[in-house]
Structure 1
Amino acid sequence: MKLMNLLFTLLTVAAFPLAASEKDDDVIKVVYQCDFPEADRVHLMLNTINNAVEYYNKNFIQYEIDIVALGPCLQYVMKDFNNTGFEEKPYITQGGPTGAGTRSRLKALQLDGGDKIKIYACKNTMDKNHVADNQIEDFATTTPAGVIKIIDLQRSGYAYIKIR
């Protein structure tokens, strides 16, 4: 009888890590399309991301969130506007719920999220607006085409979100 109880306990304990590891592999994946110029929409997008991150962290849920900046939204991941198709606007460095501008909020979000949050800059938009790689913030990674990046992420299981 003791041998049966010991065997049952060992089998139960041995099965537990397998169940736990399966749950750990279940990662929530989200991609945000940022293709709009309005700062209030960017702040709303950042608020929704912050809310999701807070929820996932509080509930020990693994996540990956990617932001793809293309079209007019590219200006939010730029650090230098000289000789480009973009003009620096005051709302890029001002506003938001804490008074921090959109650029600083994006940078803080990416830094706080580490490898869980990635920000991509569309190379097509950069080329059309004469934006060089060194004019993009260090927290952003270039991707050849923003829309293709979004499609590829969706095909690999990412949920798609666009702020209206």
Structure 2
Amino acid sequence: MKKWLLVLILSMCLNAEEGLKKVVFDLTIGDLKEFEQKVLIGMVKNKDYYQSNMQELEVAVVIHGDAYKFFIKDLSNSPYKDDTKLISERESLEKRLKSSVENYHVKFYICQAGMNHLKIANENIYDFVTPVVTSTIGLIDLQNEGYAYMPIR
């Protein structure tokens, strides 16, 4: 009886893993419309697709390049202080990003080396974003954890 129970449990664990997909988005775009389309809308569509097929999608995003600006709390204290379109959309973007974390469990990582170069303080990024030493290290680590690589450029 114990052997059958063990076989059943192992079988369930293997089936659960088969239903789990992982993706890491390498986010470098700085265009607001593309960001909304590819990240905010695209992630939700991807998550919904897998959920409707009885599977789970874990999403991680590694931020660098021109994408820093979408994750800054106070734009007036950043290299993006003159981007009027971004300033007008900042509050809405923050809510939508926060919603993706709370409702879809998206994990955001940001390149610390790039932040240092651009003089963006850790205190000036959203609390739901985790700094990583470099974007390359973040991408390597996540891919070695089984995340499929998808560039957003």
TM-score (norm 2): 0.82
Counterpart Cα distance in 2 of 1:129 and 1:91: 17
Return the structure number with greater helix share: 2
Matching residue of 1:163? 152
Instruction: Give the counterpart of 1:91 among 86, 91, 95.
Output: 86
Which residue is equivalent to 2:9? 17
Aligned to 1:120: 109
Take 2:5 and 2:21, find their aligned partners in 1: how far apart are those partners?
A: 27
CA distance in 1, matches of 2:107, 2:88: 20
Instruction: Note the residue ranges of structure 1 that are not aligned, 5 or more in a row.
Output: 1-6
8 Å contact 1:68–1:119 — kept in the other structure?
yes
Aligned AA (1:109): S
Cα 1:149–1:69 change in 2 (3 A) is: same
Partner letter of residue 24 of structure 1? A
Aligned residues: 150
Select the structure of larger CA radius of gyration: 1
Gap regions ≥5 residues in structure 2? none
**Which secondary structure state, in structure 1, belongs to the residue aligned with residue 75 of structure 2?**
coil
1:58 and 2:47 matched: no
- Retained in 1: the 8 A contact 2:108–2:128? yes
Looking at both structures, which has the greater relative contact order when contacts are Cα pairs under 8 Å and sequence separation is at least 6? 2
Q: Which amino acid aligns with 2:68?
A: L
Q: What's the CA shift for 1:150? A: 1.1
| Identity %, equivalent residues | 25
Distance of 2:45 and 2:144 partners within structure 1: 25
